[in-house]
Amino acid sequence: MVSMSKTVLLTEFEYDFKLIGISTHSKDYRLCWEINKKFGVQLYKEKDVLFSSKKGDTANFSMYFYQNEMEEKDLRLISNKSSGRLLVPESKPSDFFLMFYDYDNFEISEMLREIRKINIVLTAFEVEVSTLKSKDNLLF
């Protein structure tokens, strides 16, 4: 009898982004327009993110993207809610997430203050990515 050994691949992902949770009653395109206007960026619509559960049901989460190639900085706006499902269940108050790549803490603090000034935003807050159980759902 020949014994077969099992090889297990362990991977560690880098969560090299900061996250702001945004609560609003407005639609994704309206929030996107307000963010574009406020910060002088041009978030554009990407394909929806499709997630399937173990039960077999699926949900589409809208996503917008902006890249500043000169400064090598990226932004993503992604919905947290779709068809009664949450992309990140631990952050129920968040209707949307604004993901920041390659921004320093000062810039994010300033952006957070400015996001709170947008009249359709109910609240905005920084989300500590390392504390989220479902942070893998934010890797695209």
Which CATH number goes with the domain that contains 42? Answer: 3.30.160
| 114 occurs within a structural domain | yes
Domain of 36, in residue numbers: 17-51+58-138
| Residue 9 falls inside a structural domain | no
b/e code 59-86 from CB counts within 10 Å (16+ = b): bebbbbbbbeeeeebbbbbbbbbbeeeb
Provide the whole-model pTM: 0.83
Over the chain (140 residues), what is each successive 10-residue block's mean pLDDT? Answer: 61 71 96 95 92 79 89 87 89 92 78 95 92 79
- Is 8 among the domain residues? no
Residue 117 domain-assigned (yes or no): yes
Report yes or no on 98 lying in a domain. Answer: yes
Domains of the chain: total: 1
